[in-house]
Structure 1
Amino acid sequence: MNFANNMAQAKVGDAIGRSPKQQLTWIGLAALPLLLPFGIPGVATTLGYLTCLLGLGYAAGFGVPIPRWLAEKRLPPRAAAVLHRILYAFIRRVGRRSRPRLFLMSHRRMRPLNGLMLAFAGLTMAAPVPFASFDNVLPAAAMVCITFGLRVRDGALVLAGYGFAVLAALLVVGLWWGGYALFVWAMQQPWAAQWLGWLFS
């Protein structure tokens, strides 16, 4: 809980940190609010790209330096209250049931794969999708499960994160395919030519 307070009072660069372990913690905390099917526009995209970079750094075993223009910014004042509520609910529902198990998934040998899966989840979060506002929930769940699973050495939680990352990618592909199919169908309708003619006349 104190870490949530520290994040709200520090600059972005201080909150994210320079060590892979601290950056991993930051990813998990920052993704928690996105488990809800709504959010502030633009936050998910920024977090997605940052998670991709930090995940690649974690896979390689070093902390990723944060650009100065971003590192000097301060987090919103209300961040502590939001993080307190969501972190408390997460620990109450998930954290208490988590325990050290399936140590292979949190072993140092799995670090490159775990980092790449985090980067993959970040990309799926950053990917723009049509006709949806709930597409950030699955990649956020992947980030939270992988990062917290690694911290408490719960391999089952890490595996759940892998599953959420795959489901997030399938959702992005499905939404794009559905959007394309809807566009093709609309262009084949008789009213489409009339509407386009009126629009460009």
Structure 2
Amino acid sequence: MNRVRLPFTDRAEAGALLAEVLSGMALADPVVLALPRGGVAVAVPVAERLAVPLEVLVTRKIGCPDQPELGVGAIAEGGEPVFDRELLYRLGFEPEDVAPVIERERRELARRVRVYRADRPLPEVADRDVVVVDDGLATGGTARAAVRAVRSMQEGNGRVILAVPVAAGETVESLRAEADEVVVVATPAGFRAVGQWYERFDQLADDDVLELLGRA
């Protein structure tokens, strides 16, 4: 799959290519959970191709207290915070030092859940294969939090399948210990950021996510 033409035109094209790969897999009563915001645009063609339900699983990055843009962890609804402990300690912090950041991100996570799903609960995932979709993996922090959250909700024989169009190769290898399978269309060399592998990589707003969910 590394022979695919890069960059992708947009998330819709990337999602269609990812859907092609997933359609060849034997999935047990699957459900697609997209990580908003960008993952929703990728997940729409995936859910359409597989003819399965699509829902959002909300995640938030946990920023460093004095460098908010630098992620030292992530949290997903239904799960506990997941830290990059090596980075956290290298910066001179302990997990308890970021408690105020986590509380702030929990509030934003809850807000997004209300906006995106209103009163809808997450789909039942017992004995189902859950396909967790994002638009790419750089460090993989939010994906790791999402996979662990889904795992905590699962019962029975269901699998957690992490699926993305593009990813850093070393991140894919690290996440194979978390998910039952990691499905990636391309793992190009020289990976710096997810957006470099898309011609159009617009930032999406809440209204965009709602429109995409309505279409799905």
Taking structure 2 as the reference length, the TM-score comes to 0.29
Q: Which structure has greater helix proportion?
A: 1
